[in-house]
Amino acid sequence: MEIITRQQKMASVAKKLRRENRVLGFVPTMGALHEGHLSLIQKARQMTDEVIVSIFVNPTQFNEGTDFEAYPRDLTADAEILSPFDVDYIYAPDSSEVYGDEYSTFVTVDDIADKLEGSSRPGHFRGVATIVTILFNTIRPDFAFFGQKDAQQVAVIRRLVRDLRFDTEIIVLPIVREDSGLARSSRNERLSAADRKSAAVIFRALSAANEMAMDGERSAGNITDKVREVIETEPSGSIDYIALVNKESLDPIEKIGKEPALLAVAVRFGDIRLIDNIVLNEEE
């Protein structure tokens, strides 16, 4: 496993590998690696010849400077976590390497980036779309791997890839959960022990909604009411939003039809805002 910190070196290594007809798999991360990331890396290992993991805490996707500064950074620990996974390259540039002097080009995915997370985190997806564009242009991967946990990020990136004609196939892997059902996230580490336990209510609520849908319930109102009722059994949780939307456009839906419907929630426990989702009506 080689650690590359320079953009030019990463680009030339990737170019050489492509010339040798190696299939490139790319897993973009911000470090603080957990089981969710590892499931992406394992899939990349199965599907591709060369696995490249980027570790870069992207300043342009943070709304508040304090969040950016507080984000955990430990390249040595992350590299150690990756060592059993047969990763070929870690790309860990610093900020000046990615956003050089007078950086001024940003990528905006209209409409879907403004919904759900976009309204509480303005500019977040502009930062995500910009860094993903820069990384894809550096590496030009054949496949890039993302987690369904960040369902809106997936919708934004799919749209970005489609609209800007990136020659990269996006592979999305299921949410990895703790034993309690809580979706794995680097934020879980910052929950108090009590809140971490209470936050399992989110998955109980999503599961109750899924059962309702499987039993034939079609009304978004009834389903989201149920989710609210279950989450409210935990007084320490404060609901930011509960939304039932089209999985691709993220437009709200009133009745579940034939298309898969994304049930997405954001709930705060103390200072920590957690997101989670489940896709209803999806064929396996």
Applying CB under 6 A, does 172 fall inside the site for ligand PAF? no
| Distance in Å, CB of 93 to ligand PAF, minimum | 12
Nearer to ligand PAF, 71 or 241 (CB): 71
Pair of tokens at residue 269: 């426990």
Is 124 a known active-site residue? no
Applying CB under 6 A, does 25 fall inside the site for ligand PAF? no
Beta pairing class for 261-269 and 237-246:
antiparallel
Strand partners, 255: 219
Q: Report how far Cα 272 is from the mean position of its chain's Cα atoms.
A: 17
Tell me which residue of 272, 80, 277, 66 sits closest to 189, measured CA to CA.
272
The active-site residue, picked from 10, 25, 36, 37, is 37
Binding-site member from 88, 117, 150, 195 for ligand PAF (CB under 6 A): 150
Binding-site member from 30, 40, 87, 209 for ligand PAF (CB under 6 A): 30
Count of residues of this chain found to bind ligand PAF when the rule CB under 6 A is applied:
10
What whole-number distance in Å separates Cα of residue 92 and Cα of residue 53?
Answer: 8
Applying CB under 6 A, does 60 fall inside the site for ligand PAF? no
What whole-number distance in Å separates Cα of residue 93 and Cα of residue 190?
Answer: 26
| Distance in Å, CB of 268 to ligand PAF, minimum | 20
Nearer to ligand PAF, 4 or 213 (CB): 4
Binding-site member from 61, 133, 152, 185 for ligand PAF (CB under 6 A): 61
Taking the alpha carbons at both ends of the chain, their separation in whole angstroms is 35
| Distance in Å, CB of 223 to ligand PAF, minimum | 27
What whole-number distance in Å separates Cα of residue 84 and Cα of residue 105?
Answer: 37
| Distance in Å, CB of 2 to ligand PAF, minimum | 20
Q: How far is CA 79 from CA 31, 36, 42, in A?
A: 9, 16, 15
Q: Report how far Cα 237 is from the mean position of its chain's Cα atoms.
A: 22
Applying CB under 6 A, does 133 fall inside the site for ligand PAF? no
Binding-site member from 4, 29, 88, 209 for ligand PAF (CB under 6 A): 29
Binding-site member from 24, 128, 220, 256 for ligand PAF (CB under 6 A): 128
As a three-state string, the secondary structure of 103-141 is CCCCCCCCCHHHCCHHHHCCCHHHHHHHHHHHHHHHHCC
Provide the annotated active-site residues: 37
Site for ligand PAF, rule CB under 6 A: 28-30, 58, 61, 128, 131-132, 150, 153
